[in-house]
Amino acid sequence: MGLKSFIILSASAALFLIFTGCAGTSGVQVTKGDQQIGSAPTGSVFETTEATLVHVDLSERLATLRNGRVFPADAFLETFDAEDNKTGLLKTRDNRTVGLRTADVLEGEPQINNRARLASPAESRRLSQIYRDASDD
């Protein structure tokens, strides 16, 4: 076997191992930190009730959320960066039957990977007076 054949065979085997190793995972895994804890690959694994922004279009004022289905329609969400600084305000749209949850960007400039959580009930009441839908007038 020549060197070229050996390289091609090695690359094919590596790709096979990568794809078959990733195919067996399921669920949501969020890692935080840079140190290995127990058998976690890097950082620690924890469950979260917050959504994560995976797409932001500031010209259309639209954000796409991963894990956003836990929020009701027309809910006000505050977004935060990694240092827990508030970056924006969103209002969820109706849930679609498929795909990720979307929300309108009302204030600020949220970025991809920001976290979104529900605004407090008092803040939601205040915001509902400011950001009313046209049909509510």
Q: Which residue has the tokens 């827990």?
A: 84
Question: What one-letter code names the amino acid at 121?
Answer: P
The C-alpha torsion from 17 through 23 and 24 to 26, rounded to 10°, is 140
Query: Which value, in Å, is the radius of gyration of the alpha carbons in the chain?
Result: 21
Residue 78, in any domain of the structure: yes
Whether this model's pTM surpasses 0.85: no
Residue 83, in any domain of the structure: yes
The C-alpha torsion from 108 through 33 and 23 to 68, rounded to 10°, is -30
- The answer to whether 68 touches 104, Cβ cutoff 8 Å, is no
Average pLDDT over residues 79-86: 95
Residues recorded for the chain? 137
Q: Highest-confidence range of 7-16, 37-46, 63-72, 126-135, by mean pLDDT?
A: 63-72
Number of domain units in the chain: 1
Cα(78)–Cα(36) distance, integer angstroms: 31
Residue 66, in any domain of the structure: yes
Residue 137 Cα to chain centre, angstroms: 33
Q: Higher pLDDT residue, 68 or 5?
A: 68
114: CB partners within 8 A, 6+ apart: 52, 53, 79, 80, 81, 87, 88
Residue 41 scores a pLDDT above 70 = no
Residue 110 scores a pLDDT above 90 = yes
Average pLDDT over the chain reads: 78
- Structural domain including 59 reads 51-132
User: Could you report the per-residue pLDDT of 12-29, keeping only the tens digit for each?
Assistant: 666 555 555 544 443 444
Residue 33, in any domain of the structure: no
